[in-house]
Amino acid sequence: MARILTGVQSTGVPHLGNILGAILPAIELSNKDENDSFIFIANLHTLTAVKNQEDIREHTYAVAAAWIALGLDPEKCVFYRQSDLPEVTELTWYLNCFASFNRLQLAHSFKDKSAKLDDVNVGLYDYPVLMAADILLYDANIVPVGKDQKQHLEITRDLASKVNQLCGEDTLVVPDISLNESTMLVPGIDGQKMSKSYGNFIDIFLPAKKLKKQVNSIVTDSLELEDPKDPDNCTVVDLYKLLASPEKVKEMEDNYRAGGYGYGHAKKALLEEINEHFGEARDKYNDLMADKKKLDEILAIGADKARKVSQATLSRVRTRLGY
């Protein structure tokens, strides 16, 4: 049985792009009996950018509620909050003592912001080492990542190998990288890749009226209702294809080409698909966010499961380092 570890950023409510591109595929993996899935909310990493304690807390709850509402079964995986396992920070220190200063300078997480060093905190610089500890602490065999995280996984593998060279080959599990070459591209309301950074996302957990307003804000051209339209050059159609059946997609494409079918009709059809796919999840999400105690209980159970592994790994590392 392979242990698969997935880290989830605690940046608040996941948007449609997160859901289709990462969350639902990870949930599908966790439901397979042959997988031993560890899924954690990386709320310690959040502190590199967010300092408001209420935001950190609420963002963590929002992520937990969203994953469970979308179908994650905490009984079929180990679902926990990173900050509940302080062992990860101790392992980070040990790994820091094996990490190359020059190698970390080249990490994307630091390099992309290094032009303004006054705005860079040490946590951001050390981000890849904490990420390595997140993975190595739980003896993960496989870590699925997008291309943007491949470099950080290579740093993880390098650190594990350095520790093993000194302490013994079985001290840390060197994880394999599962690179997702076909990460789903979900367009935002402006046609660019959907991202919170661009402010172009669709939040499927919004109340009905606000969600409708968000969908209606999708940018289209200015063709009139009666004009034929190009379905191959329309963000509404691109999003519709990700949710609707092939038959429904073909019908919409035919309507575009025939004319007499406006963008308002298309946006209404898209909104219906979103509600059909995620209406039940939205209700469950709201119920969970209204019961934070329940979320704490679920995450505490996950932390207890994770702790059995983390303490064994840390004890092994401490002993072999001479502590």
pLDDT at residue 40, as a whole number: 98
Query: How does pLDDT run across 214-270, given as a tens digit for each residue?
Result: 999 999 999 999 999 999 999 999 999 999 999 999 999 999 999 999 999 999 999
**pLDDT above 70 for 277:** yes
**pLDDT above 90 for 167:** yes
Tokens of 65: 């509620």
Query: How does pLDDT run across 75-122, given as a tens digit for each residue?
Result: 999 999 999 999 999 999 999 999 999 999 888 777 777 667 777 899
Start-end of CATH 1.10.240.10 domains in the chain: 208-286
Which of 3.40.630.10, 3.40.50.970, 3.40.50.620, 3.40.50.150 would CATH assign to domain 2-186+292-321? Answer: 3.40.50.620
Instruction: Say yes or no: domain 208-286 is CATH 2.60.40.10.
Output: no
Say how far apart CA 174 and CA 90 lie, in whole Å.
19
* Three-state secondary structure call for residue 35: strand
**Angle, in degrees to the nearest 10, between helices 87-96 and 150-167:** 80
pTM: 0.93
Rounded to an integer, the average pLDDT of 28-37 is 93
Q: List the single range of 18-22, 27-31, 36-40, 182-186 with lowest mean pLDDT.
A: 182-186
Say how far apart CA 239 and CA 298 lie, in whole Å.
33
Name residues whose C-beta falls within 8 Å of residue 246's C-beta, 6 or more positions apart in sequence.
none
Rounded to an integer, the average pLDDT of 28-43 is 95
Q: What is the DSSP letter of 199?
A: T
pLDDT at residue 182, as a whole number: 55
Percent of the chain at pLDDT above 70? 98
Start-end of CATH 3.40.50.620 domains in the chain: 2-186+292-321
Rounded to an integer, the average pLDDT of 279-293 is 98
Measured from the Cβ of residue 230, the count of other Cβ atoms closer than 10 Å reads 12
Say how far apart CA 320 and CA 97 lie, in whole Å.
14
Give the angle subtended at the CA of 200 by the CAs of 199 and 205, to the nearest 5°.
95
Q: What is the DSSP letter of 242?
A: T
Report the b/e string of 259-288 with b at 16+ CB within 10 A: eebbbeebbebbbbbbbebbeebbebbeeb
